[in-house]
Amino acid sequence: MSKPEQDQFSPRQSAVLEEALRLLVEGGEKALTTAGVARAANCSKESLYKWFGDRDGLLAAMIAYQASKVRTYEPTGSKLTREELRAHLLTFIRDLDEVLSGEVSLALNRLSIGQAGAGGGKLGRLMLERGRGPIGKRAMALLEAGRRSGLLDFSDGGEAYETLYGLAVSDLHVRMLLGVSPETARKELGSRAERAIDAFLRLYGAANKWEEPRIRHA
């Protein structure tokens, strides 16, 4: 637990996984053959099987490896001002958008989703734990800080987080997974980030702190 994610793969193995991710991004799952990975990474199939067990082990390792690269930095424990909270929310949404629209993330999600359905939902669980877990934890910490600072008002943090996520992403993640170009999607995400924060603060902002931005009624 002291060195949980960093060096669980040797440099050589990391290089192989990097190459495997590249192949996956370029050609989808069908392009990710054991022989192809071995050839692209200049390693032998025997080593692949020695290191990762079998093909599924390789896929799981790719997910774990990619997850180990996102730093889940815990931003702050101090009291937040309105502007700071707003800025942190915006940063969170921008980071979220960047992750979700990243080629590697999309490819890994496609991979996990594609082989979910059947009995082997192993990869899907991995993605949920290693991918969405940390992101959600980070957001919840931020929202909690906002509440402690008297800027947000909610009873169920998970509910508030789901709302924020929905406002920021809506159905764009699924549409990207289905093939909408990440460029198109990123434009849409970018134009929605600030609006999502406005809406979120109208829904969950502590009343006396935000004097109702974008006031709409008489």
Partner DNA sequence: GAAGAACCGTACCGTACGGTACTAGATGAG
Partner DNA sequence: CTCATCTAGTACCGTACGGTACGGTTCTTC
Tell me how far the alpha carbon of residue 13 is from its chain's centroid: 23
Q: How far is the CB of 165 from its own copies (least distance, A)?
A: 5
Both tokens of 15, joined, read 């290089």
Query: Measured between alpha carbons, how far apart are the two ends of the chain, in Å?
Result: 57
Which of 29, 84, 95, 144 binds its own copies (CB under 8 A)? It is 29
Is the CB of residue 21 less than 8 Å from the CB of residue 66? yes
Rounded CA separation 210/129 (Å):
35
Which of 54, 98, 162, 194 binds its own copies (CB under 8 A)? It is 162
**Exposed, middle or buried, 83 (CB in 10 Å: 0-12/13-18/19+)?**
exposed
Q: Which does 163 bind (CB under 5 to 8 A by kind): its own copies, DNA, none?
A: its own copies
Contact region with DNA (CB under 7 A), list: 33-41, 126-134, 142-150, 178-186: 33-41
Which of 3, 50, 216, 217 binds DNA (CB under 7 A)? It is 50
Angstrom CA distances, 136 to 16, 26, 141, 153, stand at 29, 29, 9, 18
Does residue 213 belong to the site contacting its own copies (CB under 8 A)? no
Angstrom CA distances, 71 to 5, 99, 138, stand at 11, 12, 10
Does residue 79 belong to the site contacting DNA (CB under 7 A)? no
Which of 3, 30, 71, 216 binds DNA (CB under 7 A)? It is 30
H helices of 28-74, in order, are 34-41, 45-52, 55-69
Q: Which does 168 bind (CB under 5 to 8 A by kind): DNA, its own copies, none?
A: its own copies
Residues of the shown chain interacting with DNA in the complex, contacts defined by CB under 7 A: 10, 12, 30, 32-35, 38, 42-47, 49-50, 54-55
Residues of the shown chain interacting with its own copies in the complex, contacts defined by CB under 8 A: 24-25, 27-31, 106-107, 109-118, 121, 124-125, 127-128, 132, 153, 159, 162-163, 165-171, 173-175, 177-180, 192, 195, 199, 202-203, 207-208, 212, 216-218
